[in-house]
Amino acid sequence: MKILDTHFLALACLLSKGHLLIEDVPGTGKTLLAKNLAQKLGIKTIRLQCTNDLLPSDILGYNFYDQEKKKMIFKKGPIFSQVLLADELNRAPSKTQSALLEAMEESQVSIEGETYQLEKPFFVIATQNPREHVGVFDLPESQIDRFYLSLKMNELSRKDYKTILTQDKHASPLELIKNIPEGSSNITKIQSLVEKIHMHTDVLEYQLTLVEKAEEALEINLAIRYRKQLYRLSQSIAYLSGRDFVTSDDIQAVFIPSLRHRCKHLSDSEAILLLEKIIKTTKAP
């Protein structure tokens, strides 16, 4: 089972038309990841700091009466970006969290009977504080289900810290990926190409077996939405690896991070151990 860099997995998540959840303590580079990703792809990003008094209109936008034009004008909120970093999402109240659901599922928002399309690509990177932090609201299952992957930031070595502290600019791992051209239109074209990556029947059977074993081991029900997400993520990994077909390694690379946030009745370490065991005991084609 290959372990992939957080930045690589974040890019794969975007190319699969998914959204990313990062659960880690403050100061680990989550904002930098979003900026690096947007800069690499040549698209715009907005950071939204979530607080317990954040309103849905603070995310989506609102209508106001323009005295000069004598009519109602819609002022767009931060959701009208291409990479939205929702920092500490679980500090926002449930009503505000739910304001993201339509946007994450359908790339549109509905406000006072009007529907507004979001720019493409549209990618949400949400961060949340670990459970032991105070003043947080657990994300509902409907929200959790919209996130394709849940990641923690890469652990840094002493050498990494030394490089960061002594250089003005720390090189992004995304700079090593060469087959991604800049620009919104190019990214949407790649997203379409990803959907055409071939998965052999034997590899598909392997994926379905892994999911069924995960349902039994984790004691959770995984709907068709999750199976589609895992399918698309595997295609993205294959594309970024320079192949036009999916291998069992591609599925394994995203299997654990695609499930760890869906089993909150277990600790993170317990869930990972169970999922690693499933991978080791399931014969790959």
**Residue 58, domain member (yes or no):** yes
| CA–CA gap between residue 62 and residue 83 (Å, rounded) | 20
Residue 40 CB coordination number (10 Å): 17
Q: ∠ CA 41-42-45 to the nearest 5 degrees?
A: 95
Q: Helix, strand, or coil here: 155? A: coil
Q: DSSP H helical segments within 45-178, as ranges?
A: 56-60, 94-98, 101-106, 141-144, 158-166
* Tokens, residue 3: 């372990």
Q: Which residues of 210-220 are buried (b: 16+ CB within 10 A; e: fewer)?
A: bbebbeebbeb
Give the CATH number, domain containing residue 246.
1.10.8.80
Same-domain check for residues 267 and 235: yes
The per-residue pLDDT for 201 is 96
Instruction: Give the pLDDT of residue 173.
Output: 58
Domain-located, residue 212: yes
Task: Report pLDDT for 112.
Answer: 82
Q: Which CATH number belongs to the domain containing residue 14 in this structure?
A: 3.40.50.300
Assess whether 282 and 200 both reside in one domain. Answer: yes
Same domain, 48 and 78: yes
Residue 131: the pLDDT is 58
Give 254's contacts (C-beta < 8 A, 6+ positions apart).
Answer: 9, 12, 149, 230, 233, 234, 237
Nearest to 236 by CA among 222, 223, 253, 219: 253
Whether 172 is covered by a domain: the verdict is no
Whether residue 187 sits in one domain with residue 114 = yes
What pairs with residue 87 in β-bridges?
49
Per-residue model confidence (pLDDT) at position 1: 47
DSSP symbol at 198? B
Same domain, 260 and 186: no
207 found inside a domain? yes
Shared domain for 120 and 202, answered yes or no, is: no
What predicted TM-score, i.e. pTM, was given to this entire model?
0.87
The Cα 78–Cα 127 span in angstroms is 16
Give the range of the structural domain holding residue 123, as residue numbers without chain letter: 1-166+180-191
Q: Do 144 and 35 belong to one domain?
A: yes
Give the chain's radius of gyration (CA, Å): 20
CA angle, 23 then 24 then 26, to 5°: 130
pLDDT at 45: 87
Residues 129 and 222 grouped into a single domain: no
Instruction: Classify residue 284: in a domain, yes or no.
Output: yes
162 & 205 share domain:
no
As a whole number of angstroms, the longest Cα–Cα distance in the chain is 69
What CA–CA distances, in Å, run from 55 to 109, 143, 149, 167? Answer: 15, 17, 26, 39
| Pair 62, 142 in one domain | yes
Is residue 248 one of the residues assigned to a domain? yes
Is 174 within the bounds of a domain?
no
Query: Quick one: 40 and 150 in the same domain?
Result: yes
Separation of first and last alpha carbons in the chain? 14
- Residue 250 placed within a domain: yes
Extract the residue ranges of the chain whose pLDDT is less than 70: 1-4, 24-29, 130-135, 153-179
Task: With beta carbons less than 8 A apart as the criterion, state whether 238 and 245 touch.
Answer: yes
Are 141 and 220 found together in one domain?
no
Where a domain ends, among 157, 191, 225?
A: 191
Q: Tell me the CA distances in angstroms from 262 to 20, 39, 80, 279, one per residue in order.
A: 13, 30, 27, 17
Say if CB 126 and CB 19 are below 8 A apart: yes
Number of domains within the chain: 2
